[in-house]
């Protein structure tokens, strides 16, 4: 099947008949046609795997609290990190580390995060999966200019950001500091925050602007799930390094004045070093008990199929308890999990299923060579009792009702000749809204693709109700905010926006596609 045929399907996936006609691509075709990026090799020798201990990002302490809110401060700045042993890498960081500090909040309490920008570039911070008012959502032209920028810089920066033709008054530009308010009216979930600057999200995240934001609630706290040191966020991200130790990235303009990557990397940038929480192929000693692993794919473009190797007898090693939007109704056992950029899977692994001394590798079946390995768990011999379990019923998950749908909308994600990456045939333009859902209404959104695109919607999570005219896939369960579409796929979701009117976005979370305009605004009214 050639490219044109894909495009033809992409354009016609509007009726149920066409949906049914779209077959799930075979793995071979996926690699040939849908490869979501190109490998960028590092220019220095890569370290041996499984030497570095797994780092766990520090939890950020609030600077103060009051009856309703917790107040945090994060300074965005460059920092020299030792990511590869003996190699100095200048990173763009939240608070001096990569990943940034983990923000931990409680449902019903607001997190008020003041960001100070000491980077050499403007920034925009988005809480991915956050149920956030529009003015704190990190709309991509709501720039936070570096400390000390002049007023004129705003105008110049907006030109750089590709905002030509936009009403500049509509952009909320700040200088030095900006406070983002996250009201916290959402379920317990694994969220993350990252840079979202217009045209430069790819290089910004690649250089280190990403961190976890975990929400807890009473429903989750009442469950006997692993907690404390046995509840581990794992940010998986591929990167490449230049000969001088810096992050290597194929920007068209190395000074990052103009957005975009060189043509060869237009389909996405794949690194050859797999980092977990900022360390290359790390290792962790684990006791023979259950651990909760909050898997996040923070890669720009790489798709992983994660498996444990060896599999424990009987398989089903990865017991999924949560998705992007928090706990599932009931656990799902997987032998492997396919995770696209920005997706999160909360899994519980019971290491007592392995003999003491087993070295259990977390592998990537979609990788090859060095990218086929992720990290290693070394099972200790300690005899411990495990008071954690995974209950058969996890949480009350409301199912959105398809019969309540008031509007159906189609969004096609494709490359168009001349315009680059587009949504519904048009490249992104800030302020141009392509949908106006009403607060509280249930809508059916249908996504379709030409090539490989992980589709992300801001403001509220959605539920996948169909894939290619059939049932949802094995990784579609629960509340999602990012859903992976393979070449020529079509996915139907139900979504209901609540609480906050205003301009939000949906976009491809392949960051090279996003930066090259595969985004669109919708306006909740």
Residues contributing to the site for Cu ion (CB under 5 A): 453, 508, 510, 513
Q: Is the CB of 36 or the CB of 122 nearer to Cu ion? A: 36
Distance, in Å, from the CA atom of 57 to the CA atom of 37, rounded to the nearest integer, reads 28
Under the binding rule (CB under 6 A), the answer on residue 126 touching ligand C2O is yes
Residues 198-257 within binding reach of ligand C2O (CB under 6 A): none
Residues 299-358 within binding reach of ligand C2O (CB under 6 A): 342
Q: Which does 508 bind (CB under 5 to 8 A by kind): ligand C2O, Cu ion, none?
A: Cu ion
CB 298 to ligand C2O: min, Å: 9
User: Could you check whether the bond before residue 175 is cis, i.e. omega within 30 degrees of 0?
Assistant: no
CB 36 to Cu ion: min, Å: 7
Q: Which does 126 bind (CB under 5 to 8 A by kind): Cu ion, ligand C2O, none?
A: ligand C2O
Q: Is the CB of 308 or the CB of 508 nearer to ligand C2O? A: 508
Under the binding rule (CB under 6 A), the answer on residue 196 touching ligand C2O is yes
Q: Which does 196 bind (CB under 5 to 8 A by kind): ligand C2O, Cu ion, none?
A: ligand C2O
Sequence length of the chain is 525
Adjacent-strand bridge partners of 447 = 411, 491
CB 8 to ligand C2O: min, Å: 29
Distance, in Å, from the CA atom of 70 to the CA atom of 182, rounded to the nearest integer, reads 10
Under the binding rule (CB under 6 A), the answer on residue 128 touching ligand C2O is yes
Q: b/e for 446-480, b at 16 or more Cβ within 10 A?
A: bbbbbbbbbbbbbbbbbbbbbbbbeebbebbbbbb
CB 392 to ligand C2O: min, Å: 32
Q: Is the CB of 393 or the CB of 426 nearer to Cu ion? A: 426
Q: Which does 453 bind (CB under 5 to 8 A by kind): Cu ion, ligand C2O, none?
A: Cu ion
Q: Is the CB of 207 or the CB of 353 nearer to ligand C2O? A: 207
Look at residue 138 and give its three-state secondary structure: coil
Q: Would you say 219 and 133 are in contact if contact means Cβ atoms under 8 Å apart? A: no
Look at residue 3 and give its three-state secondary structure: helix
Under the binding rule (CB under 6 A), the answer on residue 503 touching ligand C2O is no
Q: Which does 342 bind (CB under 5 to 8 A by kind): ligand C2O, Cu ion, none?
A: ligand C2O
Which residue, 265, 272, 192, 263, is CA-closest to 238? 272
Sign of the four-CA dihedral 417, 423, 426, 427: negative
Stretch of 79-87, 146-154, 270-278, 504-512 contacting ligand C2O, by CB under 6 A: 504-512
Under the binding rule (CB under 6 A), the answer on residue 109 touching ligand C2O is no
Helix (H) or strand (E) holding 508: strand 502-508
Q: What is the DSSP letter of 439?
A: T
Stretch of 117-125, 280-288, 298-306, 505-513 contacting ligand C2O, by CB under 6 A: 505-513
Under the binding rule (CB under 6 A), the answer on residue 513 touching ligand C2O is no
Q: Is the CB of 230 or the CB of 458 nearer to ligand C2O? A: 458
C-alpha distance across the termini of the chain, in Å: 42
CB 375 to ligand C2O: min, Å: 23
Under the binding rule (CB under 6 A), the answer on residue 127 touching ligand C2O is no
Out of 109, 131, 187, 194, the residue judged to bind ligand C2O by CB under 6 A: 194
Q: What is the DSSP letter of 372?
A: G
Number of Cβ within 10 Å of residue 390's Cβ equals 20
Under the binding rule (CB under 6 A), the answer on residue 451 touching ligand C2O is no
| Residue whose token pair is 């965005």 | 76
Distance, in Å, from the CA atom of 249 to the CA atom of 60, rounded to the nearest integer, reads 29
DSSP string for 181-239: EE---S-SEEEEEEE--TTTHHHHHHTT-EEEEEEE-HHHHTS----GGGEEEEEEEEE
Q: Which does 318 bind (CB under 5 to 8 A by kind): ligand C2O, Cu ion, none?
A: none
Distance, in Å, from the CA atom of 484 to the CA atom of 343, rounded to the nearest integer, reads 8
Stretch of 61-69, 178-186, 258-266, 503-511 contacting ligand C2O, by CB under 6 A: 503-511
Q: Is the CB of 237 or the CB of 375 nearer to Cu ion? A: 237
**In the complex, which residues of this chain contact ligand C2O (CB under 6 A)?**
126, 128, 194, 196, 342, 456, 458, 505, 507, 509
């Amino acid at each position: 099947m050639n490219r044109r045929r894909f495009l033809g399907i992409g354009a016609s996936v509007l009726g149920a008949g066409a949906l049914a006609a779209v077959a799930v691509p075979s793995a071979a075709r996926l690699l040939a046609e849908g490869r979501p990026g190109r490998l960028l090799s590092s220019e220095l020798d890569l370290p041996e795997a499984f030497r570095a201990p797994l780092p766990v990002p520090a939890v950020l302490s609030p600077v103060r609290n009051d009856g309703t809110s917790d107040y945090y401060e994060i300074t965005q700045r460059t920092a020299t990190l030792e990511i590869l042993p003996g190699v100095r890498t200048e990173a763009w960081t939240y608070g001096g580390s990569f990943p940034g500090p983990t923000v931990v909040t409680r449902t019903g309490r607001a997190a008020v995060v003041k960001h100070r920008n000491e980077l050499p570039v403007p920034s925009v911070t988005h809480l991915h999966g956050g149920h956030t008012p529009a003015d704190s959502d990190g709309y991509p032209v709501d720039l936070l200019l570096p400390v000390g920028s002049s007023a004129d810089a705003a105008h110049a920066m907006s030109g750089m950001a590709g905002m030509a033709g936009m009403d500049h008054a509509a952009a909320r530009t700040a200088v030095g500091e900006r406070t983002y308010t996250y009201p916290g009216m959402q379920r317990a979930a694994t969220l993350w925050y990252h840079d979202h600057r217009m045209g430069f999200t790819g290089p910004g995240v690649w250089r280190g602007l990403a961190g976890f934001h975990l929400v807890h609630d009473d429903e989750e706290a009442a469950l006997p799930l692993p907690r404390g040191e046995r509840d581990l966020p794992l940010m998986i991200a591929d990167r490449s390094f230049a000969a001088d130790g810096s992050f290597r990235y194929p920007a068209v303009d190395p000074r990052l004045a103009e957005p975009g990557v060189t043509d060869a990397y237009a389909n996405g940038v794949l690194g050859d070093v797999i980092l977990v929480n900022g360390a290359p192929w790390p290792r962790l000693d684990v006791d023979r008990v259950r651990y909760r692993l909050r898997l996040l794919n923070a890669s720009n473009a790489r798709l992983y199929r994660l498996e444990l190797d060896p599999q424990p007898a009987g398989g089903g090693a990865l017991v999924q308890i949560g998705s992007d939007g928090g706990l599932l109704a009931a656990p799902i056992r997987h032998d492997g999990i396919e995770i696209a950029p920005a997706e999160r899977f909360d899994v519980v692994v019971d290491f007592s299923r392995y003999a003491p001394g087993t070295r259990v590798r977390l592998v990537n079946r979609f990788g090859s060579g060095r990218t086929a390995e992720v990290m290693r768990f070394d099972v200790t011999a300690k005899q411990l009792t495990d008071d954690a379990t995974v209950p058969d019923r996890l949480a009350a998950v409301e199912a959105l009702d398809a019969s309540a749908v008031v509007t159906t909308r189609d969004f096609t994600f494709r490359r168009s000749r001349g315009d680059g990456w587009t949504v519904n045939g048009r490249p992104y333009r800030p302020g141009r809204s392509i949908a106006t859902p009403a607060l509280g209404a249930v809508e059916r959104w249908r996504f379709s693709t030409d090539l490989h695109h992980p589709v992300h919607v801001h403001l509220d999570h959605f539920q996948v109700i169909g894939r290619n005219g059939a049932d949802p896939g094995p990784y579609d369960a629960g509340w999602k905010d990012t859903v992976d579409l393979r070449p020529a796929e079509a996915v139907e979701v139900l979504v209901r926006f609540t609480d906050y009117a205003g301009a939000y976005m949906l976009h491809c979370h392949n960051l090279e596609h996003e930066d090259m305009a595969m985004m669109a605004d919708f306006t909740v009214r």
